[in-house]
Structure 1
């Protein structure tokens, strides 16, 4: 029995250094690490994770993070882009924004967070032509407070006016979604490498694919996105190319669709600008009002002297 105990002790010591095929703690830095956004991998840095937020109900059940239900993409210091079906019911009515909480700057969903890493939601704007799980699956959450500028782990994602999304470009997507259909949500933010594909691939494999609204990609390896990933970004060449949306349940395999950012850029940018302007305090406009008033008075004075 002593020899058996000695052998067991040796095996337990050597076990963390043994090679694993499907991603144990021992090979987190290995390039072959895989784990079923389903089929994703863990990042080596926060280069992309700082653009993603966790969207949750206001209160958790047992531990912080068990109330996560969708992901979101930070597009300004107060605006989060996500899928409309995340924040609406079957009748397309928006949720009460006061019942939502956004967590940023955390890779681990279940990690403890402080008030510096969370914000309440003040307003929800859903695309006016949204049809549940079908089209225009976009919504913008306006946060009650700005994300602190000193928090370098949180940065809005670049939104280019133009992007050359040619076939074959390597992109990345991420989320805290289910690790398999109807399974548990991932604790860690998982990445999946994808490639821009021909629209014909999605036409053949996705019944409701619409080239006018969507970007077609294929996974570099096996993988799919599921509930909880919705609203996460598609990042190509360091800029926003789309978000996960327009799907019920898990989707993947040979082809995947993302809601195209470029197709909706005008609505997204215009909505954010409108929300920004509507929330500005009155004193912000006082210089403009003063300039207009002085010019009117000067014009009236000039007319009076000419008469």
Structure 2
């Protein structure tokens, strides 16, 4: 269901402006308006806590948004999805669209493991077509046969700025941020990861960025890892870090090319409830 700005304000009240843990990528930069038209911001409604911002997502078609499974695996009731959003303080941001969806619109990968974060991918199927514009555009899916090693990519989101597990120490900002990273091979990533956490499971369905002076953090999960070559190719979904938000360890993402068949299965499913 598409929502007018007036209805949105009635639903949210002061939820967005009152949030103090809507922070940003560690050492990221502020995004420009319209810089990431594929980026999705969403809130979920949980009966006991109200509206919370768990994660981000990526538009890949008129009906499909991809996010991380761990973001939507709990018992929430509704999702409030914002498209074309950059600044959360701007309720009247030009070109934005907003939709309210029920829990039944979310499909979590059947083999998702919340402990190991294997198969950390979920799909949100819109009830109606997204209206594309200069403000809202889909990302492109990657080629299955390419590994994208050594290519520069960009991760974006509204996640935490401080590497700390105490949310009271988070420094909030309402502006979408982004961080450029370099993709490394799974062989190199696995070695780095298991040097730090020897027992951690590692799969070819991961894709990693090289340790750098920056990192995605809490609130960035589910968001896009996009090639920085102008193609807007979505190569990963922000999943997790080796040691939380440690900026000196590899960032681990769900490799989109490993799930192209799974995505197509639900994208083309005419039996999926409207």
User: If the TM-score is normalised by the length of the shorter chain, which range does it land in?
Assistant: 0.7 to 0.9
Cα displacement string for residues 20-46 of structure 1 (whole angstroms, at most 9, x for unaligned residues): xxxxxxxxxxxxxxx961111123452
Quote the offset at 1:246 in angstroms. Answer: 4.3
1:127 aligns with 2:109: yes
Is the aligned partner of 1:79 residue 2:88?
A: no
Task: Determine if contact 2:155/2:224 at 8 Å carries over to the other structure.
Answer: yes
Query: Secondary structure, in 3 states, of the residue corresponding to 1:172?
Result: strand
| CA-to-aligned-CA distance 1:274-295 (integer Å, 9 cap, x gap) | 1x55357xxxxxxxxxxxxxxx
Indicate if the aligned counterparts of 1:202 and 1:256 stay in contact, CA closer than 8 A: no
Compute the displacement of 1:251 (Å): 4.5
How far apart are the structure 1 equivalents of 2:161 and 2:250?
Answer: 18
Match of residue 214 from structure 1:
206
For 1:176 and 1:70, locate their aligned partners in 2 and report how far apart those are by CA, in whole Å.
8
Alignment match, 2:161: 179
Contact 1:137/1:246, CA 8 A, preserved across alignment: no
Q: Which residue of 2 aligns with 1:67?
A: 52
Correspondent of 1:170 among 138, 152, 157: 152
- Residue in structure 2 matching 1:235, options 226, 235, 238: 226
CA contact (8 A) 2:24 2:157 kept: no
- Determine which structure has more spread, i.e. the larger CA radius of gyration: 1
Residues 1-307 of structure 1 aligned to structure 2 (within 5 Å): 37-44=25-32, 46-47=34-35, 49-58=36-45, 67-89=52-74, 95-96=76-77, 99-113=78-92, 117-122=97-102, 123-134=105-116, 135-149=118-132, 151-162=133-144, 164-180=146-162, 181=164, 182=167, 183-206=170-193, 207=197, 208=200, 210-219=202-211, 221-236=212-227, 237=229, 238=231, 239-246=233-240, 249-274=244-269, 276=270, 278-279=272-273
> How many correspondences in the alignment?
230
Secondary structure of the 1:252 match is coil
Cα gap change, 1:205 to 1:271, in 2 (>3 Å): same
Using the TM superposition, give the Cα deviation of residue 68 of structure 1 relative to its aligned residue in structure 2, in angstroms: 2.2
CA contact (8 A) 1:243 1:258 kept: yes
The answer (yes or no) to whether the contact 2:144–2:258 under 8 Å persists in 1 is no
Extract unaligned runs of 5+ from structure 1. 1-34, 60-65, 281-307
Say what the alpha-carbon RMSD is for the aligned residues: 2.7
Q: Distance in 1 between the 2:96 and 2:154 partners?
A: 27
Quote the offset at 1:187 in angstroms: 1.1
TM-score by length of 2: 0.74
Higher relative contact order (CA 8 A, sep 6+): 2
Give the CA deviation at 1:214.
0.2
CA distance in 2, matches of 1:209, 1:265: 22
Structure 1 pair 259/252, CA: closer, same or farther in 2 (3 Å)?
Answer: farther
- Classify 1:199/1:75 alpha carbon distance in 2 versus 1 (closer, same or farther; 3 Å): same
| Distance of aligned partners of 1:166 and 1:72 in 2 relative to their CA distance in 1, 3 Å threshold | closer
Q: Which runs of 4+ in 1 moved over 4 A?
A: 113-116, 246-249
Assess, with a 3 A threshold, how the Cα gap between structure 1 residues 265 and 86 changes in structure 2: closer, same or farther.
same
Unaligned runs of 5+ in 2: 1-22
Instruction: Please give the secondary structure, in 1, of the residue aligned with 2:142.
Output: coil
